[in-house]
Amino acid sequence: MPKAIVLEKSGDKVDAAVRELAAADFPEAEVRLRVEYSSLNYKDALAIVRGEPVVRQWPMVPGIDGAGIVESSTHAQVKPGDRVILNGWGVGERRWGCLAQSAGAMADWLVPLPEQLDSRSAMALGTAGYTAMLCVLKLERHGVKPGDGEVLVTGAAGGVGSVAISLLAGRGYTVVASTGRQAEAPYLKRLGASDIIDRKTLSERGKPLERERWAAVVDSVGSHTLANACASTRYGGVVAACGLAQGMDLPMTVAPFILRGVTLAGVDSVMAPPAVRKEAWQRLADETDRDLLALLSHEVGLQGALELAPRLLAGEVRGRTIVNVNA
């Protein structure tokens, strides 16, 4: 009987519990995986605590990412025993997800686990790490180079932020970390940040243009923070926007775009095409520093994930949370 976190709607509330399910309870799928590890992302915490807008059907097994072994497959290209990563494509939102010992998927959604990774290290990175890599690739595609100047990373002590800092610093960029948790300064420096700024300097309404400072930005926060980051990006700089931890709004003017030629580049992980995913996961496998991955991640079980979800939404969880679905 596979165990899973099951979310059920009860009035305005979400009932979330770890339950044992019969194999027949799971929807039919082209490929069935034995999940080894999943992780707790911002979206998973939203699903567990608030349900909407993440959960699109009830009951739901959350978990937007997982890694494990193919158990059965009706697709010729995917064989039992293959080691794979599953993330995005509405998994854990529209379709039952990976905070479970078993998960279904379409064959096309799966990324072969790169040789240098195991299921646990893939989920230490998880969707947040893969999104951080998509942001780094976006900056590179727009011509940003390590010698260009300081790169700002917002939401620095969170999942996307922590991985982005380690990847950028590993490539030789000068990284400035914006955080609300000054106590995490030593951690952020160990990941590779050269300077730390208080997120309060970015989180209130600012001017249309500020002093030029950033050559590039990786932003997982949105709202005033993203607006101010754009306003202080240098002439011709690039801002990769992937998140909304502060808010979904973007209260700003077009001044940075039309007067400084700043590029605002959106990053989506859910529907990214297979070739982009494969490249991002391979680059993560090639470039991730194992010691830093251990530093920025910690492990819980399914019950632990339930307990941690409200704290993650409150911005209290550092780095990445690996979920051992068999613990």
H or E stretch covering 87: strand 83-87
**Listed ranges 73-81, 115-123, 231-239, 243-251: which one lies at the site for ligand NDP (CB under 6 A):** 243-251
Structure tokens given for 241: 């926007």
Tell me the Ramachandran region of residue 90: left when phi exceeds 0, alpha when psi lies from -120 to 50, beta otherwise. left
Residue 120 CA to residue 102 CA, distance in Å, equals 16
DSSP 149: -
**Listed ranges 27-35, 141-149, 158-166, 255-263: which one lies at the site for ligand NDP (CB under 6 A):** 158-166
Residue with Cβ nearer ligand NDP (40 or 215): 40
Residue with Cβ nearer ligand NDP (70 or 241): 241
Structure tokens given for 177: 């970390």
**Listed ranges 53-61, 123-131, 277-285, 294-302: which one lies at the site for ligand NDP (CB under 6 A):** 123-131
Short-list 138, 132, 127, 131, CA closest to 93: 127
Our finding on whether 5 is near ligand NDP (CB under 6 A) is no
Q: Which residue is nearest to ligand NDP (CB)?
A: 158
Our finding on whether 280 is near ligand NDP (CB under 6 A) is no
Q: How far is CA 165 from CA 81, 107, 190, 278, in A?
A: 34, 32, 10, 21
Residue with Cβ nearer ligand NDP (136 or 267): 267
Structure tokens given for 140: 């590179």
> Which amino acid, 318?
R
Our finding on whether 221 is near ligand NDP (CB under 6 A) is yes
Our finding on whether 54 is near ligand NDP (CB under 6 A) is no
Q: How far is the CB of 81 from ligand NDP (least distance, A)?
A: 29
Size of the site for ligand NDP (CB under 6 A): 33
Our finding on whether 206 is near ligand NDP (CB under 6 A) is no
Residue from 103, 165, 227, 267 binding ligand NDP (CB under 6 A) = 267
Residue 290 CA to residue 308 CA, distance in Å, equals 24
Residue with Cβ nearer ligand NDP (23 or 183): 183
Our finding on whether 217 is near ligand NDP (CB under 6 A) is no
Residue 255 CA to residue 38 CA, distance in Å, equals 42
Residue with Cβ nearer ligand NDP (209 or 265): 265
Residue from 4, 67, 160, 226 binding ligand NDP (CB under 6 A) = 160
Q: 38, 73 in Cβ contact below 8 A?
A: no
Residue with Cβ nearer ligand NDP (128 or 264): 128
- Residue 60's SS3 state is strand
Our finding on whether 39 is near ligand NDP (CB under 6 A) is no
> Which amino acid, 277?
R
Our finding on whether 159 is near ligand NDP (CB under 6 A) is yes
SS3 letters for 214-227?
EEEEEECCEHHHHH
Residue from 75, 181, 213, 311 binding ligand NDP (CB under 6 A) = 181
Residue from 39, 101, 102, 203 binding ligand NDP (CB under 6 A) = 203
Residue 205 CA to residue 214 CA, distance in Å, equals 18
Place of tokens 């799971």: 26
Structure tokens given for 147: 């010698």
| Contact footprint for ligand NDP (CB under 6 A) | 41-43, 127-128, 131, 155-161, 179-181, 199, 203, 220-221, 225, 242-246, 267-270, 312, 315, 317
